Structure 1
Amino acid sequence: MIQDSMASFPDSPLAPPASAPIGTAQPGGGWVMGLEERWGACRRWMIRAFFKDHLARFNARRLGNEDPKQPDSRIIDQRDLKFLRPVSGVSFEGPDPWGWRGRLGLARLGLGEVVVFSLLLTPCWVAHAVLGVTVHWAWWIGFAPFFIWNLFTIAFFRDPERLVPTGDNLIVSPADGVVTGTEEVDMPDFPGGRALRVSIFLSVFSVHINRAPFAMKTAVVRYYPGLFLDARHADCAERNEQLWVDGFAAKNGLPIRLKQISGAIARRIVCWTKPGDGLNAGERFGLIKFGSRTDLLLPVGSATLRVKKGEGVWGGKTVLGEWKA
């Protein structure tokens, strides 16, 4: 049976100095997110001013505790839940008219970066290509970096479907990347004060979607501002910016911890699960924008690992190990 008590997860003395309030799914902010928020405010103003039918239609479908009559309400329809779902009790009955954005093969919370960088880079490589054809071949030299940068940005936010292995005793990888460590570490708020940690390094070429390693229930989500050391640095697990998802495994009720850790390049952690959410094995719960690290912590002696340091893994697909009986 899954436990519900958040008191089982006090602040750990091994955490970065202090947690910070979570105001959005991307608590560290970012300039692209800032642009999206400004556009959202403009869109909501236009809807309230010129599209009263749209406002009334979605107010009728609205569920939750935020008052839609308040002029400063940040939620009009499902688009506004993109960053606010973790901190809002609002939802909408019926289908999501913008649900197709999650079926593009790209991370929905990375579409802002894809659009912004494409708008900046596409005119550059198109102009170099045109000048290379019409003026001089040397313009093609400038074409390559802009075109490759544009393709890289799109590829970085790819979000492929994964066939999740079946079996309630299996533990699948929460991320794509390379296993950089499997060891026991001090963790005072775990049974016995120790935890089995599996660390996965995600390079800039990895898929950066994070997935639940097994069926679980989220108990606590905490965000810790910090440094941006290389994700392979020995101290990054304690000193870097990170977000913790604490919960309980559905199979046995054991406490578990998922840590999204920023890196030297990755500076934007995204997590859309919130306390009380149930997650299925392989279900997406967040992403880290650009190179990073994901840690899975389990009670010592609770599982048998099948992977070792240096092995490549795929989120929601590779079996890391299995629960002991």
Structure 2
Amino acid sequence: MYFIARISFLWLLICANIINAQLTPNFYARSCPKLHNIVRTTMALAVAREPRMGASILRLFFHDCFVNGCDGSVLLEDTPAFKGEKNAYANQNSLKGFKLIDIIKKNVEAKCKNTVSCSDILALAARDGVVLLGGPRWTVPLGRRDARFASLNAANVNLPPPTANLATLISIFASKNLTARDMTALSGAHTIGMARCSSYRSHIYNEANNINAGFVAARMSTCPSVGGDDNLAPLDMNTPNQFDNSYFRNLMARQGLLHSDQELFNGGSQDAWVRLYAKSNYALAQDFTAAMIKMGNISPLTGFNGEIRRHCRFVN
């Protein structure tokens, strides 16, 4: 009886450890040893065709983690049971890269069937997109599982809008256990990628302070006061396809495209960090990678929670 009770206790302990498992870089070392190479190769082909795709996948990962954790929920299509996150205010008509994640998942499934989660694929692809555009590399902790639901309402509440002021940005990031320093470093992701006219129109037409007049004139030429909502402009007009610290130098020159960008350098608490990152690519790389790892650990599903989706857009 003692032996049976001890075995039961050990089994419960093992289960508890699995349920509360920590993410680890070697999670798929045995079950899918070619995973990293598959993701990297597929991303390299995609970014070579369209450099913007690196930024798109990075943004997709960010928007996944900020809504109920890094669980792949942003990838889900609407179902009769829930409205997905793709039509949230901050996502509507702007999130890209879903087809690329589908392709990576298909390639991974061909080698490792029903093994690797979509949320882990997205985390790896985001890292590789940054590296392919000249940015820093970091080790991605793995072992996430995929959510069985998504939430339009949570996406509308948790994602910072491009109109947010500094206090709002700090508050939203703090709710995810990310510091103001983490937030500023992560904003460095805006050194790559594009933004729609509708996201920055009010910033260039309605704000005379803290914005460069020449920059305003250049942006007005592609973003009329009425119409043209889908016209695109680079978040970093100097090196839009190169991950570097040019974004922070732009902020110091009052050339932040989004209102929320320029809020980071507006006589407030983050000015010193902006100056540091504008001066040092090394400092940016150190803080950005640390913040990415920290963000990737927001409420992951592990152990017996969630599932390994067969298709990233649909629950099993």
* Structure with max Cα Rg: 1
**TM-score past 0.5 threshold:** no
TM-score interval w.r.t. the shorter chain? Answer: under 0.3
TM-score w.r.t. the length of structure 2 is 0.27
TM-score w.r.t. the length of structure 1 is 0.27
Structure scoring higher RCO (CA < 8 A, sep ≥ 6) equals: 2
